[in-house]
Structure 1
Amino acid sequence: MTEHYVLIKHLHITAAALSLLFFVLRAWWSVRESPTLQRRWVKVAPHVIDTTLLVLGVVLMVMLSFWPHQHPWLAAKLIALLAYISLGTVAIKRGRTPVVRAIAALAAVATFAYMLGTAIRHSPLSWLA
């Protein structure tokens, strides 16, 4: 399976980019209160993309034997993922006003940037390492 590492890593990166781009688009629609957000494909696509992203991440973790209790940067990334998901639900669904949804969306994108920094720098300090 390690012979497929580069492919799996690139697919994971692609899924992450698609996830972020589609999140930003949906957040924009949410803030603007666009009816497009209610279309079936808009509701289904993020689940497909994010499930793919998560599965590929787990495959990489297992393939490389990287465990969160052994690699603090991975633990930090997973904790940040929970924050990103929570902020994302506020930005897309649960925020009561467009302003609340916009603030949550910006915080979610900042959290995503933190996760990207932890993955690249292999440090919980993210971009500051």
Structure 2
Amino acid sequence: MRKAIIYASVHHGNTEKLVKGIAATCQVNLIDAVKQSDADLSSYDMIGFASGIYFSKFHQSLLGFAEKNLPGDKKVFLICTYGGSANYKSIEQILDKKRSKVIGKFGCRGYDTFGPFKLVGGIAKGHPDEEDIKNAVEFVKGL
């Protein structure tokens, strides 16, 4: 079964750390949506979208990538890192339009220094940690 994870990891590399940990153990192709705006996803059986949460949304580059490149009727899983809380609504709206089925969601804390968090040195320092990565790997293996 061919799997790909399209990801956007912008500020602290939280999401990239997580997806690279997954790729080290699971057989998945990684596509950085910030650096690559196009890809043919038609040959993948399962597609993951991974992003940090920015203003309660997945990163704009990832949303644009999904809108442009995701074929219809695909099995999709979602991964996010967050300082405040997980929020999948922005990507789910695109997936609904594409008639894609969400088969699983995974989220974990990520180091965050945005806005007022910067004043206190950030929150969720050290995350994602080894336990978070282990849990993400188990999530992908279980799909």
TM-score by length of 2: 0.30
The structure in which a higher percent of residues are helix is 1
Kindly name which structure, 1 or 2, has the bigger radius of gyration based on alpha carbons: 1
TM-score by length of 1: 0.32
